[in-house]
Structure 1
Amino acid sequence: MTGTTARMPALYLSHGAPPLADDPIWPGQLAAWSADLPRPRAILMISAHWEEAPLALGATRTMPLVYDFWGFPEHYYAVRYAAPGAPELGDSVRNLLRGVGLPVQDVPDRGLDHGAYVPLVEMFPDADIPVLQVSMPTLDPQQLMAIGRRLAPLRDEGVLIVGSGFFTHNLAALRHTGPGVPAWSAEFDDWGQRALATADVDALLDFERKSPAGALAHPRTEHFAPLFVTLGAAEDELSSARSVIDGFWMGLAKRSVQFG
Protein backbone atom coordinates (compact mmCIF):
# COMPACT_ATOMS: atom_id res chain seq x y z
CA MET A 1 0.00 0.00 0.00
CA THR A 2 1.23 3.51 -0.83
CA GLY A 3 0.26 6.77 0.81
CA THR A 4 0.78 8.41 4.17
CA THR A 5 1.76 6.57 7.31
CA ALA A 6 0.60 9.52 9.40
CA ARG A 7 -2.54 9.19 11.47
CA MET A 8 -5.64 9.46 9.31
CA PRO A 9 -8.92 11.06 10.32
CA ALA A 10 -12.06 8.95 10.76
CA LEU A 11 -15.14 9.87 8.73
CA TYR A 12 -18.87 9.40 8.77
CA LEU A 13 -20.46 10.38 5.49
CA SER A 14 -23.91 10.42 4.01
CA HIS A 15 -23.43 8.47 0.84
CA GLY A 16 -26.43 9.20 -1.35
CA ALA A 17 -28.11 7.03 -3.92
CA PRO A 18 -26.66 6.49 -7.42
CA PRO A 19 -28.18 9.80 -8.68
CA LEU A 20 -25.81 11.64 -6.34
CA ALA A 21 -23.50 11.85 -9.36
CA ASP A 22 -26.04 14.12 -11.08
CA ASP A 23 -26.44 16.54 -8.17
CA PRO A 24 -25.05 20.02 -8.98
CA ILE A 25 -23.41 20.51 -5.56
CA TRP A 26 -22.79 17.33 -3.61
CA PRO A 27 -20.12 15.65 -5.80
CA GLY A 28 -18.01 18.79 -5.61
CA GLN A 29 -18.36 18.86 -1.84
CA LEU A 30 -17.11 15.29 -1.58
CA ALA A 31 -14.23 16.00 -3.96
CA ALA A 32 -13.19 19.09 -1.99
CA TRP A 33 -13.30 17.06 1.23
CA SER A 34 -10.99 14.37 -0.09
CA ALA A 35 -8.61 17.00 -1.48
CA ASP A 36 -8.10 18.28 2.07
CA LEU A 37 -7.29 14.81 3.44
CA PRO A 38 -3.85 13.20 3.55
CA ARG A 39 -3.60 10.50 0.92
CA PRO A 40 -4.55 7.25 2.66
CA ARG A 41 -2.60 4.05 2.24
CA ALA A 42 -5.93 2.20 2.17
CA ILE A 43 -9.61 2.80 2.87
CA LEU A 44 -11.79 0.71 5.18
CA MET A 45 -15.50 1.12 4.38
CA ILE A 46 -18.41 0.24 6.65
CA SER A 47 -21.61 0.68 4.65
CA ALA A 48 -25.24 0.74 5.74
CA HIS A 49 -25.94 -1.69 2.91
CA TRP A 50 -24.06 -4.70 4.21
CA GLU A 51 -25.31 -6.35 7.38
CA GLU A 52 -23.88 -9.80 8.01
CA ALA A 53 -22.85 -11.67 11.13
CA PRO A 54 -20.27 -12.55 12.14
CA LEU A 55 -18.40 -9.55 10.79
CA ALA A 56 -17.42 -10.29 7.20
CA LEU A 57 -14.51 -9.08 5.12
CA GLY A 58 -15.39 -8.42 1.50
CA ALA A 59 -13.18 -9.07 -1.48
CA THR A 60 -9.48 -8.40 -1.00
CA ARG A 61 -8.95 -8.27 -4.75
CA THR A 62 -10.68 -6.22 -7.40
CA MET A 63 -14.18 -7.55 -7.98
CA PRO A 64 -17.27 -6.28 -9.85
CA LEU A 65 -19.40 -3.80 -7.97
CA VAL A 66 -22.62 -4.78 -6.22
CA TYR A 67 -25.47 -2.82 -7.83
CA ASP A 68 -27.79 -3.20 -4.86
CA PHE A 69 -30.61 -1.03 -6.17
CA TRP A 70 -33.48 -1.50 -8.56
CA GLY A 71 -35.47 0.52 -11.07
CA PHE A 72 -32.84 3.13 -11.91
CA PRO A 73 -31.82 4.24 -15.42
CA GLU A 74 -29.37 1.89 -17.10
CA HIS A 75 -26.37 4.22 -16.96
CA TYR A 76 -26.21 3.86 -13.16
CA TYR A 77 -25.44 0.17 -13.69
CA ALA A 78 -22.57 1.03 -16.01
CA VAL A 79 -20.53 2.75 -13.27
CA ARG A 80 -17.20 1.04 -12.60
CA TYR A 81 -14.78 1.48 -9.69
CA ALA A 82 -11.91 -0.97 -10.02
CA ALA A 83 -9.99 -0.03 -6.88
CA PRO A 84 -7.14 -2.33 -5.89
CA GLY A 85 -7.89 -4.94 -3.29
CA ALA A 86 -6.42 -4.59 0.19
CA PRO A 87 -5.25 -8.02 1.39
CA GLU A 88 -2.79 -6.52 3.89
CA LEU A 89 -5.58 -4.47 5.42
CA GLY A 90 -7.74 -7.59 5.53
CA ASP A 91 -5.02 -9.36 7.53
CA SER A 92 -4.80 -6.42 9.93
CA VAL A 93 -8.56 -6.34 10.49
CA ARG A 94 -8.64 -10.09 11.17
CA ASN A 95 -5.79 -9.81 13.67
CA LEU A 96 -7.28 -6.84 15.51
CA LEU A 97 -10.71 -8.41 15.88
CA ARG A 98 -9.81 -12.04 16.39
CA GLY A 99 -7.21 -10.95 18.93
CA VAL A 100 -10.04 -9.91 21.25
CA GLY A 101 -12.22 -12.89 20.46
CA LEU A 102 -14.47 -11.33 17.83
CA PRO A 103 -15.28 -13.80 15.04
CA VAL A 104 -14.48 -12.78 11.48
CA GLN A 105 -15.48 -14.46 8.25
CA ASP A 106 -14.40 -13.94 4.65
CA VAL A 107 -16.71 -13.36 1.70
CA PRO A 108 -14.06 -13.22 -1.03
CA ASP A 109 -16.38 -12.59 -3.97
CA ARG A 110 -18.30 -9.68 -2.38
CA GLY A 111 -17.57 -6.43 -4.23
CA LEU A 112 -18.23 -2.87 -3.07
CA ASP A 113 -21.88 -1.90 -2.73
CA HIS A 114 -23.29 1.52 -3.53
CA GLY A 115 -22.81 2.74 0.03
CA ALA A 116 -19.08 2.32 -0.61
CA TYR A 117 -18.47 3.08 -4.26
CA VAL A 118 -20.94 5.95 -4.81
CA PRO A 119 -19.00 8.33 -2.51
CA LEU A 120 -15.61 6.89 -3.46
CA VAL A 121 -16.20 7.67 -7.14
CA GLU A 122 -16.54 11.33 -6.18
CA MET A 123 -13.80 11.45 -3.54
CA PHE A 124 -11.10 9.28 -5.12
CA PRO A 125 -12.10 9.06 -8.80
CA ASP A 126 -8.80 7.50 -9.94
CA ALA A 127 -9.67 4.31 -8.03
CA ASP A 128 -6.00 3.85 -7.20
CA ILE A 129 -6.24 3.44 -3.41
CA PRO A 130 -6.82 -0.07 -2.01
CA VAL A 131 -10.31 -0.46 -0.54
CA LEU A 132 -11.73 -3.07 1.81
CA GLN A 133 -15.38 -3.20 2.82
CA VAL A 134 -16.50 -4.97 5.98
CA SER A 135 -20.01 -5.79 7.11
CA MET A 136 -21.92 -4.55 10.12
CA PRO A 137 -22.54 -7.66 12.24
CA THR A 138 -25.12 -5.85 14.38
CA LEU A 139 -27.04 -2.58 14.58
CA ASP A 140 -26.41 -2.24 18.31
CA PRO A 141 -24.64 1.13 18.81
CA GLN A 142 -22.55 -0.02 21.77
CA GLN A 143 -21.27 -3.10 19.95
CA LEU A 144 -20.49 -1.12 16.82
CA MET A 145 -18.59 1.45 18.84
CA ALA A 146 -16.57 -1.36 20.42
CA ILE A 147 -15.67 -2.65 16.95
CA GLY A 148 -14.57 0.86 16.01
CA ARG A 149 -12.30 0.99 19.05
CA ARG A 150 -10.63 -2.26 17.96
CA LEU A 151 -10.09 -0.89 14.46
CA ALA A 152 -8.73 2.47 15.66
CA PRO A 153 -5.02 1.44 15.46
CA LEU A 154 -5.42 1.21 11.68
CA ARG A 155 -5.62 4.99 11.59
CA ASP A 156 -1.97 5.13 12.71
CA GLU A 157 -1.08 2.96 9.72
CA GLY A 158 -2.51 5.44 7.21
CA VAL A 159 -5.91 3.76 6.87
CA LEU A 160 -8.94 5.98 6.32
CA ILE A 161 -11.89 4.51 8.25
CA VAL A 162 -15.21 5.55 6.72
CA GLY A 163 -18.66 4.87 8.12
CA SER A 164 -21.07 5.35 5.22
CA GLY A 165 -24.75 5.89 5.95
CA PHE A 166 -27.20 8.79 5.82
CA PHE A 167 -27.77 11.25 8.67
CA THR A 168 -31.52 10.94 8.22
CA HIS A 169 -32.98 8.11 6.20
CA ASN A 170 -36.70 7.76 5.72
CA LEU A 171 -37.72 7.49 2.09
CA ALA A 172 -41.03 9.12 2.98
CA ALA A 173 -39.03 12.32 2.50
CA LEU A 174 -39.10 11.63 -1.22
CA ARG A 175 -42.88 12.07 -1.10
CA HIS A 176 -42.72 15.34 0.86
CA THR A 177 -44.79 17.97 -0.92
CA GLY A 178 -44.66 20.87 1.54
CA PRO A 179 -42.17 23.75 1.55
CA GLY A 180 -38.59 23.11 2.59
CA VAL A 181 -37.52 19.81 4.11
CA PRO A 182 -39.65 17.57 6.33
CA ALA A 183 -39.71 18.88 9.90
CA TRP A 184 -38.58 15.54 11.32
CA SER A 185 -35.48 15.54 9.12
CA ALA A 186 -34.53 19.10 10.04
CA GLU A 187 -35.15 18.51 13.75
CA PHE A 188 -33.07 15.35 13.90
CA ASP A 189 -30.26 16.94 11.91
CA ASP A 190 -30.13 19.94 14.27
CA TRP A 191 -30.15 17.66 17.32
CA GLY A 192 -27.45 15.44 15.86
CA GLN A 193 -25.24 18.39 14.96
CA ARG A 194 -25.43 19.69 18.52
CA ALA A 195 -24.76 16.25 20.02
CA LEU A 196 -21.68 15.85 17.83
CA ALA A 197 -20.43 19.37 18.57
CA THR A 198 -20.61 18.70 22.31
CA ALA A 199 -19.29 15.12 22.02
CA ASP A 200 -22.48 13.88 23.73
CA VAL A 201 -21.86 10.23 22.99
CA ASP A 202 -24.42 9.06 25.53
CA ALA A 203 -27.16 10.93 23.66
CA LEU A 204 -25.99 9.62 20.32
CA LEU A 205 -25.89 6.04 21.58
CA ASP A 206 -29.47 6.41 22.81
CA PHE A 207 -30.63 8.42 19.80
CA GLU A 208 -33.85 6.44 19.37
CA ARG A 209 -35.12 7.74 22.72
CA LYS A 210 -33.25 11.02 23.19
CA SER A 211 -33.54 12.61 19.77
CA PRO A 212 -36.54 14.46 18.41
CA ALA A 213 -38.33 12.57 15.67
CA GLY A 214 -35.84 9.71 15.89
CA ALA A 215 -38.37 7.12 14.80
CA LEU A 216 -39.16 9.16 11.70
CA ALA A 217 -35.57 10.08 10.91
CA HIS A 218 -34.54 6.41 11.14
CA PRO A 219 -37.48 3.97 10.97
CA ARG A 220 -34.77 1.35 10.67
CA THR A 221 -31.38 2.36 12.05
CA GLU A 222 -28.92 0.87 9.55
CA HIS A 223 -28.03 4.24 8.00
CA PHE A 224 -27.15 5.84 11.34
CA ALA A 225 -25.36 2.74 12.62
CA PRO A 226 -22.04 3.26 10.73
CA LEU A 227 -21.58 6.48 12.73
CA PHE A 228 -20.91 4.37 15.81
CA VAL A 229 -18.01 2.51 14.19
CA THR A 230 -16.54 5.91 13.34
CA LEU A 231 -17.13 7.19 16.89
CA GLY A 232 -15.32 4.17 18.29
CA ALA A 233 -12.39 4.62 15.93
CA ALA A 234 -12.14 8.29 16.94
CA GLU A 235 -12.98 7.97 20.63
CA ASP A 236 -9.93 9.93 21.79
CA GLU A 237 -10.68 12.79 19.37
CA LEU A 238 -14.43 13.27 19.64
CA SER A 239 -14.03 16.94 20.52
CA SER A 240 -12.47 17.46 17.08
CA ALA A 241 -15.72 16.64 15.28
CA ARG A 242 -16.57 19.01 12.46
CA SER A 243 -19.35 18.83 9.94
CA VAL A 244 -17.69 19.05 6.55
CA ILE A 245 -20.93 18.72 4.58
CA ASP A 246 -24.41 19.69 5.72
CA GLY A 247 -27.72 20.58 4.13
CA PHE A 248 -30.32 18.29 2.61
CA TRP A 249 -30.78 16.14 -0.48
CA MET A 250 -34.33 15.25 -1.45
CA GLY A 251 -35.39 15.97 2.13
CA LEU A 252 -32.70 13.83 3.78
CA ALA A 253 -29.90 15.30 5.88
CA LYS A 254 -26.55 14.76 4.18
CA ARG A 255 -24.49 15.79 7.22
CA SER A 256 -21.01 14.28 7.01
CA VAL A 257 -18.46 14.51 9.80
CA GLN A 258 -14.71 14.30 10.24
CA PHE A 259 -12.86 13.44 13.44
CA GLY A 260 -9.15 14.23 13.64
Structure 2
Amino acid sequence: MQPTFFINHGGGPCFFLAPGPMRAAWKQLEDYLVGFASALKERPRALVVVSGHWHERVPTVNTSPAPPLLFDYHGFPAYTYRLEWPAPGSPEIAMHVRALLDEAGFLSGLDERRGFDHGVFVPLKVAFPEADIPVVQLSLQQGLDLRPTSRSVVL
Protein backbone atom coordinates (compact mmCIF):
# COMPACT_ATOMS: atom_id res chain seq x y z
CA MET A 1 0.00 0.00 0.00
CA GLN A 2 1.28 3.46 -0.92
CA PRO A 3 1.13 6.45 1.41
CA THR A 4 -1.27 9.34 0.89
CA PHE A 5 0.16 12.54 -0.61
CA PHE A 6 -1.03 16.13 -0.85
CA ILE A 7 0.15 17.46 -4.19
CA ASN A 8 -0.25 21.09 -5.16
CA HIS A 9 -1.09 21.66 -8.79
CA GLY A 10 0.17 25.20 -9.18
CA GLY A 11 -1.80 27.85 -11.04
CA GLY A 12 -4.04 26.51 -13.81
CA PRO A 13 -1.91 24.83 -16.50
CA CYS A 14 1.29 26.47 -15.15
CA PHE A 15 3.65 23.63 -16.08
CA PHE A 16 2.60 23.80 -19.73
CA LEU A 17 2.94 27.54 -20.31
CA ALA A 18 5.64 29.00 -22.51
CA PRO A 19 8.75 30.07 -20.60
CA GLY A 20 8.12 33.19 -18.57
CA PRO A 21 7.37 34.41 -15.05
CA MET A 22 4.32 32.17 -14.44
CA ARG A 23 6.17 29.05 -15.55
CA ALA A 24 9.28 30.04 -13.58
CA ALA A 25 7.23 30.60 -10.41
CA TRP A 26 6.27 26.92 -10.37
CA LYS A 27 9.62 25.43 -11.47
CA GLN A 28 10.44 23.90 -8.06
CA LEU A 29 7.05 22.14 -7.90
CA GLU A 30 7.42 20.97 -11.50
CA ASP A 31 10.85 19.49 -10.70
CA TYR A 32 9.37 17.71 -7.68
CA LEU A 33 6.56 16.24 -9.80
CA VAL A 34 8.97 15.09 -12.51
CA GLY A 35 10.77 12.97 -9.90
CA PHE A 36 7.67 11.96 -7.94
CA ALA A 37 7.10 8.50 -9.46
CA SER A 38 10.73 7.45 -9.10
CA ALA A 39 10.65 8.37 -5.38
CA LEU A 40 7.82 5.90 -4.65
CA LYS A 41 8.74 2.50 -3.23
CA GLU A 42 6.87 0.85 -6.12
CA ARG A 43 4.95 1.98 -9.17
CA PRO A 44 1.27 2.51 -8.34
CA ARG A 45 -1.21 0.10 -9.90
CA ALA A 46 -3.88 2.82 -9.71
CA LEU A 47 -4.42 6.28 -8.25
CA VAL A 48 -7.41 7.59 -6.33
CA VAL A 49 -7.37 11.39 -6.43
CA VAL A 50 -9.44 13.89 -4.46
CA SER A 51 -9.39 17.34 -6.06
CA GLY A 52 -10.58 20.51 -4.41
CA HIS A 53 -12.26 21.43 -7.70
CA TRP A 54 -15.07 18.89 -7.49
CA HIS A 55 -17.75 19.23 -4.81
CA GLU A 56 -20.95 17.19 -4.67
CA ARG A 57 -23.81 16.77 -2.18
CA VAL A 58 -22.31 13.41 -1.20
CA PRO A 59 -18.82 12.07 -1.96
CA THR A 60 -19.02 11.00 -5.59
CA VAL A 61 -16.76 8.63 -7.50
CA ASN A 62 -15.93 8.97 -11.19
CA THR A 63 -16.68 5.62 -12.84
CA SER A 64 -15.74 6.46 -16.44
CA PRO A 65 -13.37 4.01 -18.11
CA ALA A 66 -11.96 6.92 -20.19
CA PRO A 67 -12.54 10.29 -18.52
CA PRO A 68 -12.02 13.34 -20.73
CA LEU A 69 -10.12 16.38 -19.47
CA LEU A 70 -12.16 19.17 -17.90
CA PHE A 71 -10.47 22.50 -18.64
CA ASP A 72 -11.81 24.29 -15.58
CA TYR A 73 -9.40 27.21 -15.70
CA HIS A 74 -9.84 30.51 -17.51
CA GLY A 75 -7.73 33.15 -19.23
CA PHE A 76 -4.81 31.01 -20.35
CA PRO A 77 -3.40 30.66 -23.90
CA ALA A 78 -5.54 28.66 -26.32
CA TYR A 79 -3.00 25.82 -26.56
CA THR A 80 -3.52 25.03 -22.85
CA TYR A 81 -7.11 24.02 -23.67
CA ARG A 82 -5.82 21.38 -26.09
CA LEU A 83 -3.64 19.48 -23.64
CA GLU A 84 -4.02 15.73 -23.70
CA TRP A 85 -3.54 13.18 -20.95
CA PRO A 86 -5.53 10.03 -21.82
CA ALA A 87 -5.13 8.16 -18.52
CA PRO A 88 -7.72 5.42 -18.15
CA GLY A 89 -10.30 5.39 -15.42
CA SER A 90 -11.25 2.21 -13.62
CA PRO A 91 -14.92 1.42 -13.02
CA GLU A 92 -13.83 -1.57 -10.89
CA ILE A 93 -11.66 0.52 -8.57
CA ALA A 94 -14.33 3.22 -8.49
CA MET A 95 -16.87 0.68 -7.26
CA HIS A 96 -14.39 -0.52 -4.65
CA VAL A 97 -13.93 3.07 -3.42
CA ARG A 98 -17.69 3.45 -3.23
CA ALA A 99 -18.01 0.20 -1.28
CA LEU A 100 -15.39 1.45 1.19
CA LEU A 101 -17.33 4.70 1.61
CA ASP A 102 -20.55 2.78 2.16
CA GLU A 103 -18.88 0.47 4.72
CA ALA A 104 -17.67 3.56 6.59
CA GLY A 105 -21.23 4.89 6.73
CA PHE A 106 -21.01 7.55 4.00
CA LEU A 107 -23.74 7.98 1.43
CA SER A 108 -21.99 8.24 -1.90
CA GLY A 109 -22.67 8.80 -5.56
CA LEU A 110 -21.38 7.75 -8.96
CA ASP A 111 -20.64 9.89 -12.02
CA GLU A 112 -19.49 8.35 -15.29
CA ARG A 113 -19.51 11.55 -17.36
CA ARG A 114 -17.33 14.03 -15.46
CA GLY A 115 -13.80 14.52 -16.71
CA PHE A 116 -10.56 14.94 -14.81
CA ASP A 117 -10.33 18.55 -13.63
CA HIS A 118 -7.05 20.47 -13.68
CA GLY A 119 -6.39 19.55 -10.03
CA VAL A 120 -6.00 15.99 -11.33
CA PHE A 121 -4.55 16.15 -14.82
CA VAL A 122 -2.15 19.07 -14.45
CA PRO A 123 0.11 17.56 -11.76
CA LEU A 124 -0.35 13.97 -12.93
CA LYS A 125 0.54 14.83 -16.53
CA VAL A 126 3.92 15.95 -15.16
CA ALA A 127 4.37 13.09 -12.66
CA PHE A 128 3.02 10.29 -14.89
CA PRO A 129 3.32 11.58 -18.47
CA GLU A 130 2.75 8.12 -19.96
CA ALA A 131 -0.89 8.28 -18.73
CA ASP A 132 -0.81 4.51 -18.28
CA ILE A 133 -1.99 4.20 -14.66
CA PRO A 134 -5.75 4.02 -14.00
CA VAL A 135 -7.02 7.09 -12.16
CA VAL A 136 -10.25 7.37 -10.18
CA GLN A 137 -11.38 10.79 -9.01
CA LEU A 138 -13.38 11.25 -5.81
CA SER A 139 -15.27 14.48 -5.09
CA LEU A 140 -15.27 16.43 -1.89
CA GLN A 141 -18.55 16.63 0.00
CA GLN A 142 -20.08 20.06 -0.47
CA GLY A 143 -20.75 22.08 2.67
CA LEU A 144 -18.57 20.23 5.15
CA ASP A 145 -17.17 22.51 7.85
CA LEU A 146 -13.68 21.46 8.85
CA ARG A 147 -13.37 23.83 11.81
CA PRO A 148 -12.83 22.03 15.11
CA THR A 149 -15.93 21.46 17.24
CA SER A 150 -16.32 20.51 20.88
CA ARG A 151 -16.33 16.87 19.73
CA SER A 152 -13.19 17.21 17.60
CA VAL A 153 -9.87 15.82 18.64
CA VAL A 154 -6.99 18.09 17.74
CA LEU A 155 -3.60 16.34 17.61
Per the shorter chain, which TM-score range? 0.7 to 0.9
Residues 50-69 of structure 1 aligned to structure 2 (within 5 Å): 50-69=54-73
Distance in 2 separating the partners of 1:112 and 1:57: 11
Deviation at 1:112, TM superposition (A): 0.3
- Are 2:44 and 2:133, in contact at CA under 8 Å, matched by a contact in 1? yes
Counterpart of 1:12, as a letter, is: F
Q: Does 1:36 align with 2:39?
A: yes
Distance in 1 separating the partners of 2:145 and 2:127: 29
TM-score of the pair, normalised by structure 1 = 0.50
Deviation at 1:68, TM superposition (A): 0.5
Q: Does 1:74 align with 2:86?
A: no
Counterpart of 1:66, as a letter, is: L
Equivalent pairs: percent with the same residue? 37
- Are 1:68 and 1:113, in contact at CA under 8 Å, matched by a contact in 2? yes
Q: Does 1:20 align with 2:15?
A: yes
SS of the residue aligned with 1:75?
helix
C-alpha root-mean-square deviation of aligned residues, in Å?
2.0
Counterpart of 1:134, as a letter, is: L
Distance in 2 separating the partners of 1:118 and 1:59: 20
Alignment correspondent of 1:202:
154
Q: Does 1:141 align with 2:136?
A: no
Distance in 2 separating the partners of 1:126 and 1:83: 8
Distance in 2 separating the partners of 1:63 and 1:14: 21
Q: With CA pairs under 8 Å and 6+ residues apart, which has the higher RCO, 1 or 2?
A: 2
Q: How many residues align?
A: 140
1:102 to 100, 106, 110: 106
Query: Which runs of 4 or more aligned residues in structure 1 lie more than 4 Å from their structure 2 counterparts after TM superposition?
Result: none
- Are 2:59 and 2:108, in contact at CA under 8 Å, matched by a contact in 1? yes
Deviation at 1:81, TM superposition (A): 1.0
Alignment correspondent of 1:47:
51
Deviation at 1:20, TM superposition (A): 2.7
TM-score of the pair, normalised by structure 2 = 0.82
Higher helix share: 1
Residues 170-209 of structure 1 aligned to structure 2 (within 5 Å): 202=154
Superposed CA deviations along residues 165-206 of structure 1, whole A, max 9, x for unmatched, are: xxxxxxxxxxxxxxxxxxxxxxxxxxxxxxxxxxxx827xxx
Counterpart of 2:131, as a letter, is: A
Alignment correspondent of 1:168:
none
Q: Does 1:123 align with 2:135?
A: no
* Runs of at least 5 residues in structure 2 that lack an aligned partner in the other structure: 18-22, 148-152
